[in-house]
Structure 1
Amino acid sequence: MHLCLIIPACDAGPPLCGTVSEALKTGYPVLVVDDGSRVCSSVFLAGLPVTVLRHPVHLGKGRALQSGFQWAADRGYSGVITLDADARDPAGSIRALAAAASSAEPQIFLGAAPVSDDEADLPGRCGRFAAWCLNKKTGASVAQAYPRIRYYPGAVLAGLALESKGPRLETEVLVKAVRSGHRIGSVPLSPPRAERLPKRPVPSARDALTVCLALLRYG
């Protein structure tokens, strides 16, 4: 499978190096889209075999992802895996998503990370409600409304007219893909190894609101 990894980053700082180093273990090319960071991401990635595409000003996560999608399409990649910049997803998660994508018809796959005990508070409950809404709308099966790692086939992305500049874009992609007849799959992920990665932050109520507003806007 001819795919690449895309990591949007804005003021990610030194932790970005850990994420990229982990991603490089998979053998897939890595593109970091620096979205107008005050200190360019390339400063923290010196010596690593990674491509950095830089926005001169902050344009939003949606624009950063779209720049990455276009970069991959221009180079003939059949699909992309996107992940966050803060060292949450080990190489094993990337490989699990890639394996699922290679054994199925072209469709979007979401990494389904296990829900932690820390997600029992109000933000966690908001996140579970947003995940329920997302699953109902798209047919996905995820416990978190804001999966930190996703696989997108290039053929699916090419057929979507995307609008959002910010984090709503990820939900916009799912809604419009389903509307176009594509399916959304999920891949169970193992929890990060505590000795290698920092604790996974609990998605905030703001993350949940972002998903719900995007579902209302594009659904």
Structure 2
Amino acid sequence: MTSTYREPVTRVAVLIPTYNERESLPGVISRVRASVPAADVVVLDDSSPDGTGRLADEIAAGDPQVHVMHRAEKQGLGRAYLAGFEWAMQRDYDAVVEMDADGSHQPEQLPLLLAALADADLVIGSRWIRGGRVRNWPFRRKVLSVGANIYTKVLLGMHVNDATAGYRAYRTIALKTIGLDGVESQGYCFQVDLTVRAVRAGLTVVEVPITFVEREIGVSKMGRDIIREALTNVTFWGLEHRGRQVRHLVHSIRDRKRN
């Protein structure tokens, strides 16, 4: 996208992946509907054994702006979002929002993200910029998140401070521009993957400060496999990026010598 003009965002789909979020989901949906009444909510349920999908159906039956996508099995955050992106693009939504179902992403801050889309293609709700903060996290978790983002920023040469953040809004045309074919990443790595693609496609990425609140209901789904995947993939992408820089430098030196 080379033009600075961006179409107004009118149709928004808020994507909420779920797996055993029966206790927290109703409150989150209610808060989203109150904060952004014009937006539609799309629950992406991976066959939750606790009945989250059935509960979402009951909510949708009473609210035409709530939709439910039932997925056959638990396939990870990345695949759930990709399915949601496709659903929204097929129905000509202007923008999609990624939001957790556990209340850690406060729906009351959603208008701030959507407002920033006026001048951006991707808006990230950032914990690690001025004004951003985290509540109820242990020190170890903060160190892990800050360290992972510094590592990602330095290795990949990006200006983004919170590339692992999961609270974000995309223009759907931006998703089409970066291309989603071949995206296999999950967890935090999925967020980094799409951020890298957006930056390398020359899209405008903006960070706005949010307050992230640690879940009070349920159990975090971040495990060692998710951390391992993120570390492995980011390192690989970083080495590729630095390798391209070295090759470009070598070619530049050779060209200068020839001239």
TM norm structure 2: 0.71
Change (3 A) 1:84 1:126: same
Q: Which moved more, 1:36-45 or 1:4-13?
A: 36-45
Which of 47, 50, 55 aligns to 2:59? It is 47
- Please list the CA deviations of residues 39-82 of structure 1 after superposition, one character each: whole Å capped at 9, or x if unmatched: 44233332352101010111211110001000000010111111
Amino acid at match of 1:215: V
Match of 1:90 in 2: 106
Q: Separation in 2 of the partners of 1:135 and 1:12?
A: 32
Distance apart, 1:180 and its partner CA: 1.6
What does 1:77-156 correspond to in 2, within 5 Å?
A: 77-102=93-118, 104-105=119-120, 107-113=121-127, 114-116=133-135, 118-121=137-140, 123-136=141-154, 137=156, 138-142=158-162, 146-156=164-174
Change (3 A) 1:198 1:11: closer
- Please list the CA deviations of residues 171-197 of structure 1 after superposition, one character each: whole Å capped at 9, or x if unmatched: 2111112122223211112466x9xx8
TM norm structure 1: 0.83
Distance apart, 1:148 and its partner CA: 3.4
| Secondary structure of 1:43's aligned partner | helix
**RMSD (Å) for aligned C-alpha atoms:** 2.8
Change (3 A) 1:30 1:217: farther
Unpaired runs of at least 5, structure 2: 1-8, 128-132, 239-259
For the 8 Å contact 1:22–1:91, the answer to whether it is kept is yes
Unpaired runs of at least 5, structure 1: none
Change (3 A) 1:90 1:14: same
Amino acid at match of 1:115: V
For the 8 Å contact 2:31–2:108, the answer to whether it is kept is no
Match of 1:29 in 2: 40
For the 8 Å contact 2:19–2:48, the answer to whether it is kept is yes
For the 8 Å contact 2:122–2:205, the answer to whether it is kept is yes
Change (3 A) 1:115 1:100: same
Match of 1:212 in 2: 231
Bigger Rg over Cα: 2
Q: Separation in 1 of the partners of 2:79 and 2:228?
A: 20
Match of 1:184 in 2: 205
Q: Separation in 1 of the partners of 2:14 and 2:113?
A: 11
Q: Separation in 1 of the partners of 2:222 and 2:53?
A: 28
Match of 1:58 in 2: 74
- Please list the CA deviations of residues 118-145 of structure 1 after superposition, one character each: whole Å capped at 9, or x if unmatched: 4423x32121111112334331133xx5
Q: How many residues align?
A: 211
Of Structure 1 and Structure 2, the greater helix share is in: 2
Q: Separation in 2 of the partners of 1:210 and 1:204?
A: 11
Match of 1:169 in 2: 190
Change (3 A) 1:205 1:146: farther
Q: Separation in 2 of the partners of 1:11 and 1:87?
A: 13
| Secondary structure of 1:152's aligned partner | strand
